[in-house]
Chain A
Amino acid sequence: MPNLVGQLINLLASILLILSFAMLSQRRILSLIRLFTFQGVTLVAATILLGYSTNQPHLYYSAALTQVLKVMVIPTLLHRLINHLNVRWDTETLINIPTTMMIGIILVIFSFNLAAPISSLSTSIARSTLGIALACVLLSFMMMITRAKAVPQVIGFLSMENGLFFSATAAVYGMPMVVELGIALDVLMGILILGVFMFQIRERFDSLDISHLEKLKED
């Protein structure tokens, strides 16, 4: 039985990684939000499975929190945001997508290499997924770097938080509840503030292209 659960968690982890790659290569904002929601669902499933196999009831609470916040609230907020801003168009990347994918593969190899010694120390059932979790964080970071528009950057930021959450769950069965609640609130506040910020950017520059922010630099 634990073996099966372990395999299932590994499967979910690989799904997360594939979703991250998908987000890295996705041009359309609406699909990006959908992918982000899928990521949230996968995260919830993995957390519940882990909680079930290790008898850690607090993992159920964090799963519920993730479900509410990342599967329901934030995607809704993002949908409303792009409706208000009227930015359903395709997004452009700074580096072309094949190159990005290549760099992404290098990052995955790097993070597996990095996670190997930590995994061997950990006693967690999900220890083999630590490399994947780390790769998710780095890939989302990549996405933030390569996107030229504000909304995909915000989604990259949120997905980075997903990766962080997953790595915490995988390595040490989640963070203390207080920390988790704190992070959840931070993410919520972050998205609200970034929403206001995006409205401001658009009002100022008639566009959400963040390259306009370069004008703010003092010479």
Chain B
Amino acid sequence: MLVVLTVWLAIGTFGVLALHRFALVAKVFFPMGAAASLVLCVAAASAMGGAAEVAELPFGLPGLNFHLRLDSLSALFLMVLGGVTTGVSLFAAGYFRKGEGTPPGLLCLQYHLFLASMALVVLADDAYVFMVMWETMALSSFFLVTANHRIAEIRQAGYLYLLLAHVGAIAILLCFGVLQANSGDYTFNNMRAQHLSPFWASIAFLLALFGFGAKAGILPLHVWLPEAHPAAPSPVSALMSGVMLKTAVYGLLRVTFDLLSVQLWWWGVLLLSVGLLTALFGVVFSAVQVDMKRLLAYSSIENIGLIMVGMGLSLLFYAYHMSALAALALAAALYHVASHAAFKSLLFVCTGSVLHATGERNLGRLGGLIRYTPWVAWLSLIGALASAGLPPLGGFVSEWLLLQSFLFTPGLPNSFLNMLIPVVAAAIALIAALAGYTMVKFFGVIFLGRPREEKLAQAHDAGTLEKIGMLWLVAISILLGLMPSQILKAISPVIKQLSLFDLSPSIAANAWWLLAPISVARASYGPVIFLLGVAASCTLAYILVRLFYHGRLRRSAPWDCGYPLQNARMQDTAEGFGQPIRQIFEPFFRMERELPSPFDAQPRYRVLVEDPLWYWLYLPIARWVERISQWVGMLQKGRIAVYLLYSFLTLVALLLMAKQ
């Protein structure tokens, strides 16, 4: 484990030494980093379920060594990290181009530092290492986001990201301060031993929710996500969305289930409602975006919301001592962590390939790419299917598990919750459907139809290394979809560690291809059977059509509708596709629209969809900060006599206080 981290850091250092030797950095160092990630993934998998390993490194401040600990929960997140970064590093090796922003060697350092700090966040066993690595992670990703720092918007996005990351870090620091309960010992072992009163435990939980929520992008703190993701280079967006957001989930799980000794039921309700709002907000916004990376960023917000819903439900069951159901909801959340990591990184690297092939991020100028870049198109189709939550891929398994656990909420000993939670389940179903809608838009507008611009005909497919990276991520997505019971059995030590209930016997009771977490009589899911069914019906339909239809193949322009005078600009656009959602969910948005008059010779249609939270929450805060700093600025007259007067008055006041 530590060997891998050392290798990453060494690669980073070599990268700096070979600052401008592009070929060496891209073709040697990044694949080496990918190999190290693979080793990490395997090592973490082997540590899963074993006893916790503890290490103390002689680094850090004098008398304050680095405490590291590898238990099942860390191992799961390390597996996700290793698995995803293997693919992303391979892709990055082919992705980064010469002469864009930061020199390649420096990029290599920042990239591998980012990986190593994420791994150490997950491994940390005291607040000191955790915070140092958390900040290293924030800073290295900030520099990666601003890799093209010559563009003003990118610098702005990076600033916003750094600001929210730091506000969150303060909350996390305060949370650890509460957790150590005045004992002065910041190791996690000590925090586990403390018994906080419900009031202080709630304070710690709320601080953790705020701090980790700022990183994960829960509702009022999500604003950095749709800015930073489009700004960052695609492999970096893939890592940030796929893995970094998950470290926040890890932190919240670690604090809530492991470090805190009491869990209250209303925390679960809070987490559930925040998660639900986040998911709904994310999916509605992602449906109306016209920038493909912003669309994916909002979709990440949605998925984080779903994970939070799973965690909240698990917490709720756990607080009422229904540990079997807590385990089920937790399994759904963790499964979604893994599957989202795989498919979202895949989709982000695909947008990277599209960006390189066409130089366009705007959906309105793409289209028909499946003919020019078939590899990218087919691979991102799989990602989009997984993201839409369709069987037999990974996204479906987690959403199915989540809905399954919702079906058991009537057993809760609280009548209000019994009435309200079915509504949440319905909302989850709505979110899943809207996610499907969004993915149809994403895939359909980019890859299907006719190219909307002339230059798209010159688009080239991804390079070899990029293809290998994408294939790896696709393989993970498919694996997660096809073998849910094996994977759930593998991660059941984590679930047991957190919810004190072992899922593996009930999983092992069924056949290997059948997933039935409660009992076969209630509900079961066999992805392999489903895949076979899909394959069989497709083949059958194909054969039947070829047999009974006339068999002549006629090629015509898509979505033609028999209308002869049609050009590429008359296809359904991203704006057009999102229009029903814009109508239905109008109160969510803040829209500016310019509709052309019917007599305009050169009609232009413009619509700008903005996040109302900017206007309700962030701009008032910014105005207040400005006003307060103006008041503070009035203190600063620039006259020495006035400054001396301040210290004089302070002295007199202190003397008066001393006299009391």
Chain A residues engaging chain B, CB cutoff 8 angstroms: 94, 110, 113-114, 117, 138, 141-142, 144-148, 153, 210-211, 213-217
In the complex, besides A141-B648, A217-B638, 9 extra interface pairs with C-beta distance below 8 angstroms are A114-B655, A138-B652, A145-B644, A210-B639, A211-B639, A213-B638, A214-B637, A214-B638, A217-B636
Do residues A110 and B652 form an inter-chain contact, with CB atoms below 8 A?
A: yes
Do residues B640 and A213 form an inter-chain contact, with CB atoms below 8 A?
A: yes
Contact for A145 among B638, B648, B655, CB less than 8 A: B648
Asked if B151 is at the interface of the complex by the 8 Å CB criterion, the answer is no
Asked if B645 is at the interface of the complex by the 8 Å CB criterion, the answer is yes
Q: How far is the CA of A214 from the CA of B637 in the complex (A)?
A: 7
Question: What is the interface size of chain B, counting residues whose CB is below 8 A from a CB of the partner?
Answer: 14
* A-chain residues with CB within 8 Å of residue B648 when the two chains form the complex: 138, 141-142, 145
* B-chain residues with CB within 8 Å of residue A144 when the two chains form the complex: 644
Do residues A141 and B659 form an inter-chain contact, with CB atoms below 8 A?
A: no
* B-chain residues with CB within 8 Å of residue A211 when the two chains form the complex: 639
Q: How far is the CA of A113 from the CA of B651 in the complex (A)?
A: 15
* A-chain residues with CB within 8 Å of residue B584 when the two chains form the complex: none
Do residues A117 and B641 form an inter-chain contact, with CB atoms below 8 A?
A: no
Do residues A153 and B636 form an inter-chain contact, with CB atoms below 8 A?
A: no
A sample of 17 inter-chain contacts (CB < 8 A) reads A113-B659, A114-B656, A141-B644, A141-B648, A141-B651, A144-B644, A145-B641, A145-B644, A148-B641, A153-B640, A210-B639, A213-B638, A213-B640, A214-B637, A214-B638, A214-B639, A217-B638
Q: How far is the CA of A174 from the CA of B236 in the complex (A)?
A: 65
Which single residue of chain B is at the shortest CB-CB distance from A111?
A: B655
Q: How far is the CA of A117 from the CA of B648 in the complex (A)?
A: 22
* A-chain residues with CB within 8 Å of residue B641 when the two chains form the complex: 94, 145-148, 210
Contact for B645 among A138, A145, A148, A214, CB less than 8 A: A145
Interface string of B324-352 (1 = CB under 8 A from A): 00000000000000000000000000000
* A-chain residues with CB within 8 Å of residue B651 when the two chains form the complex: 138, 141
* B-chain residues with CB within 8 Å of residue A114 when the two chains form the complex: 655-656, 659
| The 4 A-B residue pairs with the shortest CB-CB distance in the complex, in nearest-first order | A217-B638, A214-B638, A145-B644, A141-B648
Do residues A217 and B644 form an inter-chain contact, with CB atoms below 8 A?
A: no
Q: How far is the CA of A141 from the CA of B659 in the complex (A)?
A: 20
Shortest CB–CB separation between residue A150 and chain B, in angstroms? Answer: 9
* A-chain residues with CB within 8 Å of residue B639 when the two chains form the complex: 210-211, 213-214
Q: How far is the CA of A144 from the CA of B639 in the complex (A)?
A: 12
Shortest CB–CB separation between residue A46 and chain B, in angstroms? Answer: 23
Which single residue of chain A is at the shortest CB-CB distance from B641?
A: A145
Do residues A216 and B652 form an inter-chain contact, with CB atoms below 8 A?
A: no
* A-chain residues with CB within 8 Å of residue B640 when the two chains form the complex: 153, 210, 213
Q: How far is the CA of A138 from the CA of B651 in the complex (A)?
A: 9
Which single residue of chain A is at the shortest CB-CB distance from B639?
A: A214
Greatest chain B CB density within 10 A among A144, A146, A210, A216 is at A144
Which single residue of chain A is at the shortest CB-CB distance from B647?
A: A141
* A-chain residues with CB within 8 Å of residue B636 when the two chains form the complex: 217
Q: How far is the CA of A153 from the CA of B643 in the complex (A)?
A: 13
* B-chain residues with CB within 8 Å of residue A217 when the two chains form the complex: 636-638
Shortest CB–CB separation between residue B630 and chain A, in angstroms? Answer: 12
* A-chain residues with CB within 8 Å of residue B659 when the two chains form the complex: 113-114, 117
Q: How far is the CA of A123 from the CA of B644 in the complex (A)?
A: 34
Greatest chain B CB density within 10 A among A141, A145, A210, A214 is at A145
Shortest CB–CB separation between residue A102 and chain B, in angstroms? Answer: 16
* A-chain residues with CB within 8 Å of residue B655 when the two chains form the complex: 114
Which single residue of chain A is at the shortest CB-CB distance from B658?
A: A114
* B-chain residues with CB within 8 Å of residue A214 when the two chains form the complex: 637-639
Do residues B638 and A216 form an inter-chain contact, with CB atoms below 8 A?
A: yes
Which single residue of chain B is at the shortest CB-CB distance from A150?
A: B640
Interface string of B614-658 (1 = CB under 8 A from A): 000000000000000000000011111100110010011001100
Which single residue of chain B is at the shortest CB-CB distance from A144?
A: B644
Shortest CB–CB separation between residue B127 and chain A, in angstroms? Answer: 38
Shortest CB–CB separation between residue B633 and chain A, in angstroms? Answer: 9
Q: How far is the CA of A144 from the CA of B641 in the complex (A)?
A: 7
Which single residue of chain A is at the shortest CB-CB distance from B646?
A: A145
Greatest chain A CB density within 10 A among B636, B637, B644, B656 is at B644
Shortest CB–CB separation between residue B561 and chain A, in angstroms? Answer: 64
* B-chain residues with CB within 8 Å of residue A117 when the two chains form the complex: 659
Which single residue of chain B is at the shortest CB-CB distance from A134?
A: B655
Q: How far is the CA of A216 from the CA of B638 in the complex (A)?
A: 7
* B-chain residues with CB within 8 Å of residue A142 when the two chains form the complex: 648
* B-chain residues with CB within 8 Å of residue A141 when the two chains form the complex: 644, 648, 651
Shortest CB–CB separation between residue A26 and chain B, in angstroms? Answer: 18
Q: How far is the CA of A189 from the CA of B32 in the complex (A)?
A: 58
Q: How far is the CA of A217 from the CA of B638 in the complex (A)?
A: 5
Q: How far is the CA of A215 from the CA of B640 in the complex (A)?
A: 12
Greatest chain A CB density within 10 A among B641, B645, B655 is at B641
Which single residue of chain A is at the shortest CB-CB distance from B655?
A: A114
* B-chain residues with CB within 8 Å of residue A110 when the two chains form the complex: 652
Shortest CB–CB separation between residue B639 and chain A, in angstroms? Answer: 6
Shortest CB–CB separation between residue A209 and chain B, in angstroms? Answer: 11
Shortest CB–CB separation between residue A212 and chain B, in angstroms? Answer: 10
Shortest CB–CB separation between residue B660 and chain A, in angstroms? Answer: 11
* B-chain residues with CB within 8 Å of residue A138 when the two chains form the complex: 648, 651-652
Shortest CB–CB separation between residue A157 and chain B, in angstroms? Answer: 10
* B-chain residues with CB within 8 Å of residue A145 when the two chains form the complex: 641, 644-645, 648
Q: How far is the CA of A87 from the CA of B509 in the complex (A)?
A: 99
Q: How far is the CA of A153 from the CA of B638 in the complex (A)?
A: 16
Which single residue of chain A is at the shortest CB-CB distance from B659?
A: A114
Shortest CB–CB separation between residue A116 and chain B, in angstroms? Answer: 9
Shortest CB–CB separation between residue B536 and chain A, in angstroms? Answer: 75
Shortest CB–CB separation between residue A152 and chain B, in angstroms? Answer: 12
Q: How far is the CA of A145 from the CA of B641 in the complex (A)?
A: 5
Q: How far is the CA of A153 from the CA of B651 in the complex (A)?
A: 18
Shortest CB–CB separation between residue B349 and chain A, in angstroms? Answer: 46
* B-chain residues with CB within 8 Å of residue A213 when the two chains form the complex: 638-640
Q: How far is the CA of A117 from the CA of B656 in the complex (A)?
A: 12
Q: How far is the CA of A110 from the CA of B656 in the complex (A)?
A: 9
Shortest CB–CB separation between residue B91 and chain A, in angstroms? Answer: 47
Contacts of B525-549 to chain A: CB distance below 8 A: none
* A-chain residues with CB within 8 Å of residue B644 when the two chains form the complex: 141, 144-145
Which single residue of chain B is at the shortest CB-CB distance from A107?
A: B652
Which single residue of chain A is at the shortest CB-CB distance from B656?
A: A114
Q: How far is the CA of A117 from the CA of B655 in the complex (A)?
A: 12
* A-chain residues with CB within 8 Å of residue B652 when the two chains form the complex: 110, 138
Q: How far is the CA of A153 from the CA of B641 in the complex (A)?
A: 10
Q: How far is the CA of A213 from the CA of B655 in the complex (A)?
A: 30
Q: How far is the CA of A145 from the CA of B644 in the complex (A)?
A: 6
Q: How far is the CA of A94 from the CA of B652 in the complex (A)?
A: 21
Shortest CB–CB separation between residue B589 and chain A, in angstroms? Answer: 39
Which single residue of chain B is at the shortest CB-CB distance from A110?
A: B652
Which single residue of chain A is at the shortest CB-CB distance from B636?
A: A217
* B-chain residues with CB within 8 Å of residue A94 when the two chains form the complex: 641
Which single residue of chain B is at the shortest CB-CB distance from A95?
A: B641
Q: How far is the CA of A84 from the CA of B648 in the complex (A)?
A: 31
Which single residue of chain A is at the shortest CB-CB distance from B651?
A: A141
Which single residue of chain A is at the shortest CB-CB distance from B645?
A: A145
Which single residue of chain B is at the shortest CB-CB distance from A145?
A: B644
Which single residue of chain B is at the shortest CB-CB distance from A141?
A: B648
Q: How far is the CA of A208 from the CA of B379 in the complex (A)?
A: 75
* A-chain residues with CB within 8 Å of residue B656 when the two chains form the complex: 114
Q: How far is the CA of A117 from the CA of B639 in the complex (A)?
A: 36
Which single residue of chain B is at the shortest CB-CB distance from A157?
A: B644
Which single residue of chain A is at the shortest CB-CB distance from B643?
A: A145
* A-chain residues with CB within 8 Å of residue B645 when the two chains form the complex: 145
* B-chain residues with CB within 8 Å of residue A210 when the two chains form the complex: 639-641
